[in-house]
């Protein structure tokens, strides 16, 4: 009997749950993208844009993102510690509690219970639930690492530890709220201070949910799936410490030109520029890892996902700092450029690496091969095309919006009323929905492929059991 | 030995925590302890129970997903929305609602810009005002009554002052009343004085309309009227939220006004107590100086004159 089997089932449970929440989040994303150009798709009170947008962001960040992080981190930690989880039953309980929490989270957001801080919308009773989830996770991860049977901690474990510690600090501080009944609360902080705390959190939620955990996966699964060792251990050390140090200084680049004290904005912009270095440390490390044998891009289907993923990470970490600069911010801030930027990161980097990790894990758990590489390749090209259509159209419309808002007549009056600038977005918003549909179809190929692999794996293990008897 | 840290998970976690807390302390914790993060304008008042109830609804419906509440100190932005936002305006905002995306316009200076009735009608049917608007309709808020006890507990949580009358006054009000009350209080601690300083009232250069009777100007004026004026002054100037333009009553007194008075009212808007030709305005008309050029304003006046002749 395999020691890992019970834990593997927990890992699989998290992966399937995260895929489920991913589907919910993506479908709601499509719906709200239609609402942008067809207001009749708002069905009050539960299905209006204002309520559904937060279900979309929370569903994907916490349902898909955190769900995948829980499952994949358990998987990686076991392998790098050379032992099963220290508390297998607790991990299983964690899985059930996670799904209960996400279900309640989605329902409460549909009901309009909303703290109004981006990525910290959940009301206070659910915040407590999230903290409990995180503590359970931390206990199991740390316990397993402490009792490991491998002396050195590999790069991925550093990123895992930093993620577990940082998210705890960020989440608790930003969610300090004054309760006013069970379903309502008010931020402990007010005005500019509230804004500063929120974006310290908001930007680092991106850092420690969409960056460090995904890097942990990247550093583990890229060498695993290509059979090529990481290019430079030293480079990964430098990248790691500088990224976890610099990230926390940068939140205020979301608040450029707001009433927040100018020096905080400037410090944030400077550190944001600095962040290019450690980000590209990982990009370079990824490229040079595959450099000895670029034919892997052709012969190993997973390499494409990882290399395109880290490429979008590289582009993201150049575009992001550029946006922080005042001269760029004043043009594109508050426009559709920003959702274009975010979706390159989430659809191009996070999802690419997560699905590739899942493609690696599921066959490993069942000791089999992926159901169809051909379908995986179809999936790859569809999500790539869908994401590019999405991001590029949003960048164009963002620049257009920014320029129209600034346009003046020769006599100095504004050239366009707000509604005139809005109407010019509609074509681009149609294109965005199209990009979203293509991406969604790609993800359906992925889900089908995973589902069929599990079916194949179950059939195989049934045969093996019969054979032993 | 620096290498030892990669073999000691607890030490690694502690060092990581210290590393992330440095930036956190410098940019977040320490500023919080200084007065620069807690400014308050002198004439800023805490929200009343009705306004807070409106703000709760603004949060519940996620209005901040499409509307920002900060005017940046950029020229065209101040022209479009009004005086740029000051740190001291937000002392009672738990949390801040500055937002990060302008699918709709910024709302930092929406307070008192339009009469209440404008908001009621616009919430109910945004497309009646702007045919191509993508804003959801919020007419369903009407008739959903407020819960005074609930709002009282929210006021208590924030330690905002209120009277028993404030609370009992809430019964009979609905969610739409509350949301409109909140709209009308956003950003008014600053606008009253600063905006009028920033934008001096302009006098018409010509006493009479240079485009009077010009057919082309009347056509352009009609188009502009439909886009900018019709939502308040009704079809063909018959009046609606705003007064009729064809009934010979102007600023609450019988008798027409001269062309240059028309120009000044359209260009500058009206405010409570403003005096034009000896008549006192009650306010409610926004300024259109940033939306319309001079000849466009004269064209609108040509159009209104053509309506009056009918």
For A254-278, what is each residue's pLDDT tens digit? Answer: 999 999 999 999 999 999 999 999 9
Q: Contact at 8 Å (CB) between B157 and B164? A: no
B 109-148 residues with CB below 8 A of A?
126-127, 130, 132-138, 140
Task: Please tell me which residue of chain B has the smallest CA distance to A123.
Answer: B60
Domain membership flag for residue B39 = no
B 26-65 residues with CB below 8 A of A?
26-28, 31-32, 36-39, 56, 59-65
Residues B253 and B279 in one domain: yes
Q: Does the structure show a pLDDT above 90 at A300?
A: yes
List the Cα angle A145/A238/B9 in 5-degree steps. 15
- Test A249 with B153 for CB contact under 8 angstroms: no
Residues B275 and B193 in one domain: no
If you write DSSP's letter for every residue of chain B in order, what string do you get? -GGGGGG-HHHHHHHHHHHHHHHHIIIIIHHHTSGGGS---TT--PPPHHHHHHHHHHHHTTGGGT------S-HHHHHHH-SPP-GGGGTT-SS----SB-SS---TT-TTTS-HHHHHHHHH-HHHHSTT--PPP-GGGTT-B--HHHHHHHHHHHT----HHHHHTTTT-BHHHHHHHHHTTTTHHHHHHHHHHHSPPPPPSSSS-TTTT-HHHHHHHHHHHHHHTHHHH-GGG--SSSPPSSSSEETTEES---HHHHHHHHHH---EEEEETTEEEE--PPP-TTTS-HHHHHHHHHHHHHHHH-
Domain membership flag for residue B81 = yes
Residues B305 and B173 in one domain: no
d(CA A146, CA A144): 6
Determine the distance from the C-alpha atom of residue A210 to the mean position of all C-alpha atoms in its chain, rounded to a whole number: 4
In sequence order, what are the residues at sequence separation of 6 or more whose Cβ sits closer than 8 angstroms to the Cβ of residue A60? A21, A22, A25, A26, A29, A346
Q: Helices A373-406 and A351-366: crossing angle, nearest 10°?
A: 160
Residues B188 and B270 in one domain: no
Residue ranges making up the domain that contains B193? 49-198
Residues B93 and B189 in one domain: yes
User: Residue B192: its pLDDT value, please?
Assistant: 53
User: Residue B2: its pLDDT value, please?
Assistant: 66
Asked if the bond preceding B44 is cis, omega within 30° of 0, the reply is: no
- Compute the average pLDDT of residues B238-262: 90
Intra-chain end-to-end CA distance of chain A, in Å: 14
pLDDT in tens, A70-102: 999 999 999 999 999 999 999 999 999 999 999
List the Cα angle A136/A140/A145 in 5-degree steps. 150
Residues B264 and B126 in one domain: no
Residues B179 and B256 in one domain: no
Q: Contact at 8 Å (CB) between B253 and B279? A: yes
Q: Does the structure show a pLDDT above 90 at A412?
A: no
Per-chain mean pLDDT for chain A: 96
List the Cα angle A134/A341/A241 in 5-degree steps. 50
Q: Does the structure show a pLDDT above 90 at B222?
A: yes
The length of chain B in residues reads 310
For B172, phi then psi, to 5°, come to 95, -20
Domain membership flag for residue B77 = yes
Which ipTM score applies to this complex? 0.95
Question: How many domains does the structure of chain B reveal?
Answer: 2
Q: Helices A233-246 and A276-290: crossing angle, nearest 10°?
A: 150
Q: Is A9 on the interface with B (CB under 8 A)?
A: no
Interface test with A, best of B17, B18, B20, B33 (most A CBs within 10 A): B20
Residues B74 and B193 in one domain: yes
pLDDT band at A168 (very low <50, low <70, confident <90, very high): very high
User: Residue B191: its pLDDT value, please?
Assistant: 58
- Residue B133 distance to chain A (closest CA, Å): 7
Domain membership flag for residue B37 = no
User: Residue B64: its pLDDT value, please?
Assistant: 97
- The residue among B172, B198, B224 that closes a domain is B198
pLDDT in tens, A324-345: 999 999 999 999 999 999 999 9
- The residue among B170, B198, B226 that closes a domain is B198
User: Residue A230: its pLDDT value, please?
Assistant: 96
Residue A16 Cα distances to A1, A91, A321, B261, angstroms: 24, 15, 35, 70
A 400-459 residues with CB below 8 A of B?
405-409, 411, 413-414, 417-419, 422-423, 426
- Compute the average pLDDT of residues A19-36: 98
Instruction: Tell me whether residue A147 is exposed, middle or buried, using C-beta atoms within 10 angstroms of its C-beta: 0 to 12, 13 to 18, 19 or more.
Output: exposed
Residues B191 and B295 in one domain: no
Q: Is B295 on the interface with A (CB under 8 A)?
A: no
Domain membership flag for residue B63 = yes
- The residue among B198, B232, B259 that closes a domain is B198
Domain membership flag for residue B10 = no
Interface test with B, best of A33, A36, A50 (most B CBs within 10 A): A50
Domain membership flag for residue B191 = yes
Three-state SS for B137-201 is CCHHHCCCECCHHHHHHHHHHHCCCCCHHHHHCCCCCEHHHHHHHHHCCCCHHHHHHHHHHHCCC
Strand partners, B174: B145
- Residue A194 distance to chain B (closest CA, Å): 6
**Tell me, what DSSP letter sits at residue A114?**
-
- Which CATH number does the domain housing residue B150 bear? 1.10.760.10
With a pLDDT cut of 70, the percent of chain B lying above it is 96
Q: Strand, helix or coil at A469?
A: coil
Candidates B38, B60, B228; nearest CB to A193: B38
d(CA A299, CA A273): 37
Residues B112 and B246 in one domain: no
Instruction: Tell me whether residue B249 is exposed, middle or buried, using C-beta atoms within 10 angstroms of its C-beta: 0 to 12, 13 to 18, 19 or more.
Output: middle
Asked if the bond preceding A45 is cis, omega within 30° of 0, the reply is: yes
- Test B37 with A153 for CB contact under 8 angstroms: no
Q: Is A274 on the interface with B (CB under 8 A)?
A: no
- Residue B214 distance to chain A (closest CA, Å): 22
Q: Is A189 on the interface with B (CB under 8 A)?
A: yes
User: Residue B186: its pLDDT value, please?
Assistant: 97
Q: Contact at 8 Å (CB) between A49 and A32? A: yes
Sequence-ordered alpha helix ranges (H) in A367-417 = 373-406
In sequence order, what are the residues at sequence separation of 6 or more whose Cβ sits closer than 8 angstroms to the Cβ of residue B131? none
pLDDT in tens, A129-144: 999 999 999 999 999 9
pLDDT in tens, A371-404: 999 999 999 999 999 999 999 999 999 999 999 9
Residues B268 and B190 in one domain: no
Domain membership flag for residue B1 = no
Task: Please tell me which residue of chain A has the smallest CA distance to B80.
Answer: A414
Contacts of B79 in chain A (CB under 8 A): 408, 413-414
d(CA B192, CA B271): 9
d(CA A2, CA B108): 62
Residues B254 and B173 in one domain: no
User: Residue A468: its pLDDT value, please?
Assistant: 58
């Amino acid at each position: 009997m395999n020691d890992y089997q019970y834990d593997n089932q927990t890992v699989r449970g998290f992966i399937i749950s995260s895929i489920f929440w991913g589907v919910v989040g993506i479908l709601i994303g499509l719906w709200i993208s239609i609402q942008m150009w067809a207001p009749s798709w708002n069905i009050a009170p539960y299905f209006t844009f204002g309520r559904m947008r937060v279900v979309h962001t929370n569903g994907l960040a916490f349902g898909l993102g955190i769900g995948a992080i829980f499952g994949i981190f358990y998987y990686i930690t076991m392998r790098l510690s050379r032992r099963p989880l220290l508390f297998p039953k607790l991990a299983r309980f964690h899985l059930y509690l996670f799904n209960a929490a996400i279900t309640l989270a989605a329902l409460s957001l549909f009901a309009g219970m909303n703290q109004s801080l981006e990525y910290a919308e959940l009301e206070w009773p659910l915040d407590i639930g999230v903290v409990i989830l995180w503590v359970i996770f931390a206990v199991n991860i740390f316990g397993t690492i402490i009792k490991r049977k491998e002396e050195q901690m590999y790069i991925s474990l550093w990123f895992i530890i930093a993620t577990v510690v940082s998210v705890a600090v960020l989440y608790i501080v930003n969610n300090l709220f004054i309760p006013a009944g069970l379903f309502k609360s008010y931020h402990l902080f007010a005005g500019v201070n509230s804004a500063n705390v929120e974006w310290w959190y908001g930007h680092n939620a991106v850092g420690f949910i969409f960056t460090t955990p995904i890097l942990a996966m990247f550093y583990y699964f890229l060498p695993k799936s290509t059979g090529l060792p990481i290019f430079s251990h030293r480079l990964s050390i430098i990248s790691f410490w500088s990224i976890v140090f610099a990230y926390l200084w940068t939140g205020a680049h979301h608040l450029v030109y707001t009433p927040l004290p100018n020096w905080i904005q400037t410090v944030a912009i400077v550190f944001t520029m600095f962040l290019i270095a450690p980000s590209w440390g990982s990009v370079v490390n990824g490229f040079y890892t595959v450099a000895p044998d670029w034919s892997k891009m052709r012969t190993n289907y997973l390499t494409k996902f990882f290399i395109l993923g880290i490429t979008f990470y590289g582009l993201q970490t150049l575009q992001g700092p550029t946006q922080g600069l005042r001269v760029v911010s004043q043009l594109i801030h508050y426009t559709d450029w920003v959702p274009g930027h975010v979706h390159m990161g989430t659809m191009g980097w996070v999802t690419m690496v997560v699905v590739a990790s899942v493609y690696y894990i599921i066959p490993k758990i069942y000791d089999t091969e992926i159901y169809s590489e051909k379908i995986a390749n179809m999936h790859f090209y569809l999500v790539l095309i869908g994401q590019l259509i999405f991001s590029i159209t949003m960048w164009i419309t963002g620049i257009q919006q920014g320029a129209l808002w600034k346009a003046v007549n020769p006599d100095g009056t504004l050239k366009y009323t707000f509604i005139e600038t809005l109407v010019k977005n509609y074509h681009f918003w149609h294109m965005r929905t199209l990009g979203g549909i293509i991406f969604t179809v790609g993800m359906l190929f992925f889900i089908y492929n995973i589902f069929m692999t599990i079916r194949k794996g179950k059939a195989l293990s049934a045969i093996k059991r019969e054979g032993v008897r | 030995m620096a290498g030892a840290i990669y073999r000691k998970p607890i030490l690694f976690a502690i060092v990581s925590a210290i590393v992330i807390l440095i930036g956190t302390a410098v940019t977040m914790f320490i500023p919080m302890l200084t007065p620069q993060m807690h400014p308050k304008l002198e004439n800023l008042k805490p929200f009343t129970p009705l306004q807070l109830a409106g703000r709760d609804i603004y949060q519940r419906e996620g209005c901040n997903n499409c509307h920002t509440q900060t005017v940046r100190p950029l020229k065209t932005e101040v022209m479009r929305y009004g005086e740029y936002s000051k740190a001291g305006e937000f002392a009672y905002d738990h949390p801040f609602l500055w937002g990060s995306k302008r699918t709709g316009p910024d709302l930092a200076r929406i307070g008192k810009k339009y009469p209440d009735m404008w908001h009621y009608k616009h919430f109910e049917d945004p497309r009646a005002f702007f045919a191509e608007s993508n804003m959801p309709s919020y007419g369903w808020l009407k008739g959903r009554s407020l819960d005074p006890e609930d709002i009282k507990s929210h006021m208590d949580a924030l330690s905002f002052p209120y009277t028993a009358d404030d609370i009992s006054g809430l019964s009979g009000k609905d969610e739409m009343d509350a949301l409109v009350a909140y709209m009308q209080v956003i950003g008014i601690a600053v606008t009253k004085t600063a905006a009028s300083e920033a934008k001096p009232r302009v006098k018409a250069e010509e006493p009479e309309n240079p485009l009077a009777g010009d057919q082309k100007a009347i056509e352009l004026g009609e188009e502009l009227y439909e886009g900018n004026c019709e939502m308040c002054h009704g079809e063909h100037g018959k009046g609606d939220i705003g007064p009729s333009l064809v009934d010979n009553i102007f600023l609450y007194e019988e008798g027409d006004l001269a062309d240059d008075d028309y120009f000044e009212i359209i260009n500058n808007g009206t405010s409570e107590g403003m005096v034009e030709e000896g008549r006192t305005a009650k306010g409610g008309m926004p300024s259109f100086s940033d939306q319309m050029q001079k000849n466009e304003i004269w064209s609108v006046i040509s159009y209104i004159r053509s309506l009056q002749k009918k």
